[in-house]
Amino acid sequence: MNRIFKIFGNFKQGGEWAKPNPAFFGKIVLDEEKGQFRGYCEELYCSEGEPEPIRFRILAGLFSKGRLGIAFYKLSSDYSETDPFIYVIPDLGDPENASAWYAFDVFSGGFSPIEPARAAVEEETYSKDEETRILNRYNELRRGESALNHDLLLQINRLGDMLEHAE
């Protein structure tokens, strides 16, 4: 059976928590059998105090089997923005659950930790119509994805290693 969650998150950049808080929010659908989720978020973060347009991001990741932790990709839905991010939050039940977010480094071809991040999820009442809406939005956003993002989504189970080592 699938479950639906709201997801909220924030991250530090330059030593400061992003504003507004949350810096991103969205909805995900969890496939309980696989422990994987897919969905989307709206990113509201403004850098340098300048207003930026809302950006939609693809979310895909894993819930941990033990504690309620998550690791997920936050991927650009626009081919011109190719920087994927990983968030690793080992314990969503901890109000100070700051862990880390990682940015892709084109020079090393891998991910490097940036600064702390936080996330929270709230379960919603399941509705097949809502599940369909969320997954349709996810698929719509994937249409413009880069080859890198496509490859990352094919290897989603690798996030489990990051989550396991963070716990």
Q: Which of 98-107, 109-118, 154-163 has the highest mean pLDDT?
A: 154-163
Q: In whole angstroms, give the CA distance from residue 122 to residue 29.
A: 12
Cα atoms found within 13 Å of the Cα of residue 47, Cβ hemisphere only: 5
Mean pLDDT of 108-114: 80
Residue 136, Cα to own-chain centre: how many angstroms?
17
Per-residue confidence (pLDDT) for residue 125, from 0 to 100: 97
Per-residue confidence (pLDDT) for residue 128, from 0 to 100: 98
Helical ranges in 46-107 per DSSP H? none
Task: Give 3-state DSSP helix, strand, coil % of the chain, rounded to 5.
Answer: 20, 40, 40
> For all residues of the chain together, what is the average pLDDT?
84
Per-residue confidence (pLDDT) for residue 165, from 0 to 100: 76
Q: In whole angstroms, give the CA distance from residue 79 to residue 123.
A: 31
pLDDT tier, 91 (very low <50, low <70, confident <90, very high otherwise): confident
Domain ranges of the chain: 2-166
Q: Could you read off the pLDDT of 50-72 as tens digits, one per residue?
A: 566 678 889 999 988 666 788 99
Q: Could you read off the pLDDT of 125-167 as tens digits, one per residue?
A: 999 999 999 999 999 988 877 888 888 899 898 898 888 877 5
Cβ proximity of 37 and 31 under 8 Å:
yes
Pick the more confident residue, 105 or 38. Answer: 38
Q: What is the dihedral of CA 137, 132, 40, 78, to 10 degrees?
A: -20
Per-residue confidence (pLDDT) for residue 69, from 0 to 100: 85
Per-residue confidence (pLDDT) for residue 84, from 0 to 100: 85
Per-residue confidence (pLDDT) for residue 26, from 0 to 100: 95
Cβ proximity of 22 and 5 under 8 Å:
no
- Whole-prediction pTM value? 0.87
* Residue 33 exposed, middle or buried by CB count within 10 Å (0-12, 13-18, 19+): exposed
